[in-house]
Amino acid sequence: MGMTDDYLESLYRTFYESELERSDKLDAQVNLPTAIVTGLLAVSAFYIEHFPKIEWRVGVILFILSLIAYGALLMGAMYCLVRSYFKHKYQLLPPPKDIQQNVDQLRAHYQAKFGGGRNVFVDVFVDENVKGDIQHDIVNVYKESGSYNRRTNTTRIAWLHWATHWIIFSIVALVASRLVYYFGVAESKPQEVKITEMPGDSGIHRVEIVGRDVQKVEVVNPPSMHRVQIVNPPQSQKVQITGLPDVQKVEIITPKKETK
């Protein structure tokens, strides 16, 4: 019986420790999908800034539908990630203080039962019974805690598995929405605008250039005095105006967004 308890204690302890070690690995595995979801949320900011005007066009409708699907899948991934990390409990060994209290109680019980004291043989017999009971309790703790922790880890793995699925679907939906946006929603993006043959009989001219993605604006042979106005300039590109005379006025205006 003693050899069996020793074997079971070693076996269940190994099982218990392996499940706790796997819980630490699961905590680390959450980092990568969390970083991917964070990146996908950052991409969503682009759509918020460049959301098209709602109108009954096939491209706009397809884009909105793909964007809804993308958002729903991304929310599903976030939900699974949260469930894989939070509200999961693990059973641990009792603290040494509780174990010692149990030992003292068992020792007092067996000493009262067998009449301990100065009798060495009785004391050895009491120690053997206390050791056997404590070992039996520890084996049960290893067995129950290891089984409970295994169920917890299995549940967390399932949530991580579903989170990975939703992330993959979100990426597919994002690519689809980007293609729809590029081919069906986005307007043409001129790279260069060149203005030539400006009339010279007027001292002030107004040249208005509209477009967020104009890369370069060039004015050729301008009159002695004119006005160039760039409306709604790009946020991240560079607008370059060349060929201006010594006296000129350049005004860059970002119009206010329409309120609905």
pLDDT value at 9 more than 80: yes
Span 190-216, average pLDDT:
53
- Kindly state whether residue 258 falls inside one of the protein's structural domains: no
| H or E element that contains 69 | helix 58-85
Quick check: 163 and 84 in contact, CB under 8 A? yes
- Kindly state whether residue 259 falls inside one of the protein's structural domains: no
What local confidence, expressed as pLDDT, does residue 95 receive?
92
Quick check: 224 and 247 in contact, CB under 8 A? yes
Over residues 74-86, the pLDDT tens digits come to 999 999 999 998 8
More confident residue, 2 or 36: 36
Tell whether 121 and 229 lie within a shared domain: no
Query: Among residues 162, 185, 208, which one ends one of the domains?
Result: 185
Least confident of 121-130, 169-178, 216-225: 216-225
For every residue of 85-116, DSSP letters joined together read HSS-----PPPHHHHHHHHHHHHHHHHHHHT-
What local confidence, expressed as pLDDT, does residue 260 receive?
43
Domain that includes residue 121, residue range? 2-185
Tell whether 153 and 129 lie within a shared domain: yes
Over residues 134-191, the pLDDT tens digits come to 988 999 999 999 999 999 999 999 999 999 999 999 999 988 888 887 777 765 444 4
Q: State the pLDDT confidence band at 98, using cuts at 50, 70 and 90.
A: very high
Least confident of 9-18, 49-58, 202-211: 202-211
- Residue 160's closest CA among 87, 85, 69, 88? 85
pLDDT value at 54 more than 80: no
Tell whether 26 and 53 lie within a shared domain: yes
Torsion of CA 30, 31, 36, 41, to 10 degrees: 90
Q: What is the model's pTM? A: 0.64
* Burial tier of 24 (Cβ tally within 10 Å: 0-12, 13-18, 19+): exposed
Phi, psi of 241 (to 5 degrees): -110, 120
For 29, 62, 79, the CA distances from 170, given in Å and listed in that order, are 19, 16, 13
Contacts of 83 (CB under 8 A, 6+ apart): 159
pLDDT value at 33 more than 80: yes
More confident residue, 214 or 139: 139
d(CA 128, CA 150): 33
Edge-to-edge strands, sheet with 192-195: 192-195, 216-219, 241-242
- Kindly state whether residue 260 falls inside one of the protein's structural domains: no
